[in-house]
């Protein structure tokens, strides 16, 4: 009987680009059957914590709470320099300073929310909303600050907003590591052989997309919040890189740094994420 793999990924362009080959079956599934579900990143985080998927894209922050239940796959991650979330303001010249102010974050378990709390603590009230709500609410002055992710990194000026801080740049300056945003996590319920097969399929899917970038555009358009092809490809150029193909030693070091800083700030459950060997 063919083994079915419940796979959860996000609809953001870097995921639909990297998984285009898998979703369209342009790469060999290695005898497995993938049932793919696309969800907002915070919903994926919640489902990861519940153990609902066999394999799941999720925030590295969320996975720190389940280090004993999952293994990180070397391929498919979003990690790099210049990829961090942006802290935006509704009013130019303002910065988080008081609990009378409201900051919108894209989910309690996102790495973006973790960075905000690492660097700005509890200086403001925090409300967690779907990432696509953040810039519209800032533009209509229904919040003071927002942590912006995904395509919004390129489109925020159109909303008349002000940049307070690039949280990723601050991470890089303090750690000298690329920022680990999200990764692909396989449940330890799966056999090592199955996990290795899943890793090969995802690796092949990433390589397939990189070999012909424009071929993935129809898949990306179908699921993206932004439909401008230039913005979609900017997203790919930023978030899909050498560490998406393979985390390598640099990726492992970045994960250890994130783990240590989260634990020291009381924002993680402790433990270090294990990356699949080989």
Q: What is the pLDDT of residues 67-82, one digit of tens each?
A: 999 999 999 999 999 8
Q: Contact 147/170 with Cβ under 8 angstroms?
A: no
Average pLDDT, the chain: 92
β-strand pairing of 145-148 with 102-105? parallel
Domains of the chain: 3-80+179-264 (3.40.190.10), 86-175 (3.40.190.10)
The pair of structure tokens assigned to 43 is 């919903």
State pLDDT tens for residues 115-169. 999 999 888 999 999 888 999 999 999 999 999 987 677 788 888 899 999 999 9
Q: Which residues does 128 contact at the CB level (< 8 Å), separation at least 6?
A: 42, 104, 105, 106, 107, 108, 113
Q: What token pair was written down for 129?
A: 């909303």
Alpha-carbon gap, residue 48 to 45, rounded angstroms: 5
**Burial class, 37, CB count within 10 angstroms (exposed 0-12 / middle 13-18 / buried 19+):** middle
Asked if residue 86 has pLDDT above 70, the reply is yes
Task: Specify whether 235 is catalytic.
Answer: no
Q: What is the pTM of this model?
A: 0.90
Name the active-site residue from 20, 109, 120, 150: 150
The mean pLDDT of 197-204, rounded to a whole number, is 98
């Amino acid at each position: 009987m063919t083994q079915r793999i419940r796979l959860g990924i996000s609809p953001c362009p870097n995921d639909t680009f990297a998984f285009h080959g898998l979703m369209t079956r342009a790469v060999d599934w290695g005898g497995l059957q993938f049932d793919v579900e696309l969800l907002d990143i915070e919903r994926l985080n919640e489902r990861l914590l519940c153990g609902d998927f066999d394999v799941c894209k999720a925030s590295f922050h969320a996975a720190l709470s389940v280090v004993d239940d999952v293994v990180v796959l070397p391929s498919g991650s979003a990690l790099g320099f210049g990829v961090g979330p942006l802290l935006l303001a509704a009013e130019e010249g303002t910065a988080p300073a008081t609990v009378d102010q409201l900051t919108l974050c894209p989910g309690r378990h996102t790495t973006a929310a973790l960075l905000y709390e690492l660097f700005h603590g509890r200086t403001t009230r925090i409300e967690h909303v779907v990432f696509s709500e953040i810039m519209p609410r800032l533009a209509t002055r229904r919040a003071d600050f927002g942590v912006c992710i995904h395509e919004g990194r390129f489109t925020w000026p159109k909303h008349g907003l002000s940049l307070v801080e690039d949280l990723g740049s601050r991470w890089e300056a303090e750690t000298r590591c690329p920022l680990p945003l999200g990764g692909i996590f396989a449940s330890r319920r799966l056999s090592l052989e199955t996990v290795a097969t899943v890793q090969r399929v995802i690796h092949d899917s990433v390589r397939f997309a990189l070999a012909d970038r424009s071929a993935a555009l129809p898949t990306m358009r179908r699921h993206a919040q932004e439909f401008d092809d230039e913005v979609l490809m900017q997203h790919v150029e930023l978030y899909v890189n050498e560490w998406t193909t393979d985390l390598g030693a640099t990726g492992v070091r970045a994960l250890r740094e994130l783990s240590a800083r989260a634990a020291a700030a009381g924002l993680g459950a402790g433990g270090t994420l294990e990356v699949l060997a080989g």
